[in-house]
Amino acid sequence: MKRPALSIIIPVYNMSGLLQDCIDSVCRQTTDDYEIIIIDDGSTDDTPEIIRRNAARLGDKLRTARQENRGQGAARNAGLSMANGDYVCFIDADDMLAGRALETLLERALSDGSDIVHCDYTYYYPDTGKQRGSSPDRIFAESLLVGAECERLLGMKYYYSVNNLYRAAFLAEHGIRYGDERVYEDWVFIARCANAAERVSLVDEPLYIIRVNRSSVTHSGYGSDVHYQSFLAAIHGTAGAVKPRNRYTGYFLAKQFNDKMAAYYWKRVPRRLRAAFLRDFLAVMATVDIELPPKGGDAVLRFLVKFRVPERKRYTLYFCAMLFVSARTVLAKYMKG
């Protein structure tokens, strides 16, 4: 059988009501030079039946495997071990692809000789059927990052593993795989990708569609310490995994950590744990060597560096900085109407 250009890996756990939309979005693509690999992570609903029906319909185009429930990272790794494509991409089972996504990503990968092709995304709200929002990162003003500039991806607030196409040999050469964590399992993965890549293509089109799904892993467990512990493990692992090539890599990492902290502190960590969460977060931030760019840059990070907030454990100052970020975000939304 001819080797496909692309392997599409879909990990799934109890998504019987949404998986078909995901598969259909792949089947509607304008290229058919791909294989679909679905890893059932021990589903207990009708997901196995959905997979069987599609396997009968798609034949050799769809390959499947089932494992005991171990989380998305382990499921994606299982898919990688089965992949035959020259390139791979990952789709969450509750998400979808825009119509020309695969053709566009493959064309850029081949024309640029890229290790990674990174595209924009949009949110889909099933209650209204509307799509809105995409990445505000200015990095999309460029089309190609080379060498140490690839680490600029680390400074993006919305740098996910799913809105990327990866050269399979690149992942294999560097031994890049997902972690076993249940939440934020992709943070070290995408950090290592940016750290190792020599060429990253940027596509300023929302080719990946994120369904706003309140039952997903990242939107549940807010009353426990799961997000607190998983977030800290993710940023600690990320900071330790990256070997900077760019003098501003520490700044890029700190910006990403700080942007996410400002959101997760209020939304995903119970009030009773927030003081400890802030303390532990600053302990990790103190290990990051932050060199600020000479012009521009993030105002909050400049504040943190100037007053040595992480090193001096100035928790009240950092809390005030988070209040500023939150107020700025609310004001920006208000100004947009």
Please state the length of the chain.
337
Note the helical H segments in the chain.
19-27, 47-58, 72-82, 101-112, 168-173, 187-196, 226-241, 249-267, 274-285, 299-306, 315-335
Residue 121: name the closest of 102, 98, 142, 100 by CA: 98
pLDDT given at position 199: 98
| 3-state secondary structure labels for all residues of 229-251 | HHHHHHHHHHHHHCCCCCCCHHH
Mode of pairing for the β-strands spanning 164-167 and 87-90: antiparallel
**Residues 6 or more apart from 69 whose CB is under 8 A from it?**
13, 41, 42
State the Cα–Cα distance between residues 204 and 281, nearest whole angstrom. 32
| CATH code for the domain defined by 6-218 | 3.90.550.10
DSSP 8-state assignment for residue 94: T
The pLDDT tens digits along the chain (337 residues) read 689 999 999 999 999 999 999 999 999 999 999 999 999 999 999 999 999 999 999 999 999 999 999 999 999 999 999 999 999 999 999 999 999 999 999 999 999 999 999 999 999 998 888 888 776 677 888 999 999 999 999 998 778 999 999 999 999 999 999 998 778 999 999 999 999 999 999 999 999 999 987 655 555 567 788 889 999 999 999 999 999 999 999 999 999 999 888 878 888 999 999 999 999 999 999 999 999 999 878 888 988 999 999 999 999 988 888 787 777 766 666 666 5
pTM for the whole thing? Answer: 0.92
Q: Give helix then strand counts, H and E, for the chain.
A: 11, 10
pLDDT given at position 137: 74
Locate 43 and state its tokens. Answer: 């589903």
Residue 122 bridge partners (DSSP): 209
Residue 143: name the closest of 107, 89, 178 by CA: 107
pLDDT given at position 224: 83
State the Cα–Cα distance between residues 78 and 178, nearest whole angstrom. 10
How many whole angstroms from its chain centre is CA 157? 10
Q: What are the boundaries of each domain within the chain?
A: 6-218, 226-335
State the Cα–Cα distance between residues 115 and 312, nearest whole angstrom. 40
Residue 195: name the closest of 171, 223, 227 by CA: 171
pLDDT given at position 113: 98
pLDDT given at position 329: 66
Provide the 3-class DSSP secondary structure of residue 148: helix
The number of beta carbons lying within 10 Å of the beta carbon of residue 216 is: 18
State the Cα–Cα distance between residues 54 and 52, nearest whole angstrom. 5
Contact of 99 with 30, CB cutoff 8 Å: yes
Residue 39: name the closest of 17, 59, 12 by CA: 12
pLDDT given at position 323: 82
pLDDT given at position 324: 76
State the residue for tokens 């990946």.
208
Provide the 3-class DSSP secondary structure of residue 38: strand
Residue 254: name the closest of 227, 228, 293 by CA: 293
Residue 234: name the closest of 212, 264, 213 by CA: 264
Locate 261 and state its tokens. Answer: 């902290």
pLDDT given at position 256: 92
pLDDT given at position 139: 86
State the Cα–Cα distance between residues 204 and 141, nearest whole angstrom. 8
pLDDT given at position 298: 85
State the Cα–Cα distance between residues 288 and 125, nearest whole angstrom. 37
How many whole angstroms from its chain centre is CA 139? 16
Axis crossing angle, helix 249-267 with helix 299-306, rounded to the nearest 10: 100
